[in-house]
Amino acid sequence: MKIHFGFIFAAFSIFMGGCVSPPQTPITLSQSAVGPQAGRIGVAMTALPKLDTLVPGAGCLLCLAAASIANSSLTTHAQTLTYEDLPKLKTDVANLLRKKGTEVVVIEEDVNINDLADFDTQVPNSAKKNFAPLQQKYKVDKLLLMDVTALGFIRTYASYIPTSDPKGLLQGTGYMVNLKNNTYDWYLPVYITKSADQNWDEPPKFPGLTNAYFQALEIGKDSFLKPFIGDAPAVTPKAENSTPIPAAISGVAQNAIR
C-alpha cells in the first residue's frame, strides 16, 4: 500500500478553491455537426487510466488508509484486468463517421489535455482548455475526443464506513470541439456502474465483480458509439442509482490509493 501525501493538498484545494465553474451540460450531436459539410474531423482518445479501486467519501488520510487496506485484494485484482477492445474506440467512431460521409483523421497518439492552456471565456458551451492549436497540428477543423478518466471498481464510503458494495466502473466524457471557436458541438458525460449479479466478495479472482467490470466496459463503449449510429440522439447514460464522481475528487482517489 502506498499513500501519497499530495492527497492532503489536493483535498485542501477542493474545499478552499473558492468558486467553481458549473459543470458542462450535455450537448446532443446534431446531424449538421457531422457529414460532408462538417469539414475534417480528427478522432482521438486520451491515455487510458490505470485500473484501480476508487473509494469516494473516504476523505481523511486515515480513512483512506483504512479503505485501502480493506479493498487491497480487490485493487490487486483490478490491476490484472484488461481494457478489452476499448483502445479501438476511436477507430470504431471514425468508421461510423465515415458512413455519414465525414472526412475523418484518426489521431494515433494520445491527446494530453493537461498540456493545453486554459481557455477563460463566458461564452456558453466553450471548452475549458484551448484546443485551437491542435487545428494546425493535426490539420483538422474539429476534434472529437473520448476521455476515459476512471476504470475498474468503485466503493463509496462515509469516512471509515463503506456505504455500498464494490461495483464495476467506467467513467469518462466524449466531446467534439469546433477548433475555429473552441466551442462544443457535442458533449456527453458517461458514467457507468454495474453491480455483481450475486456475491461480490470472492477473492482472489472476484468472478462476480470481474463480470460486472466487463459489463460496465461494454456498456460504456456502446454509450460513446450510440450517438454516431444512424440518427440516434446522444443521451447521457444512467448509472445504477449513483452520482458521478466529481473530477477533482476522483483524481484524488486515484492518486491516493495504490
Q: Residue 251: pLDDT above 50?
A: no
Q: How far apart are CA 75 and CA 240, in angstroms?
A: 21
Condensed to tens digits (0 to 9), the pLDDT of residues 177-217 reads 999 999 999 999 999 999 999 999 999 999 999 999 999 99
Confidence (pLDDT) at 7: 40
pLDDT at 80 over 90: yes
Alpha-carbon span 186 to 188, nearest angstrom:
7
- Strand 183-194 with 167-178, pairing: antiparallel
Q: What is the pLDDT of residue 252?
A: 33
Return the pLDDT at 22. Answer: 82
pLDDT digits (tens, 9 = 90+) for 30-66: 989 999 999 999 999 999 999 999 999 999 999 999 9
Mean pLDDT calculated for residue range 15-40: 82
Please, are residues 168 and 193 in contact by the beta-carbon 8 Å criterion? yes
Q: Which helix (H) or strand (E) holds 40?
A: strand 40-45
pLDDT at position 249? 39
Q: What share of the chain is helix, strand, coil (3-state, %, to 5)?
A: 35, 20, 45
Please tell me whether residue 174 adopts helix, strand or coil conformation: strand
Global confidence as pTM: 0.83
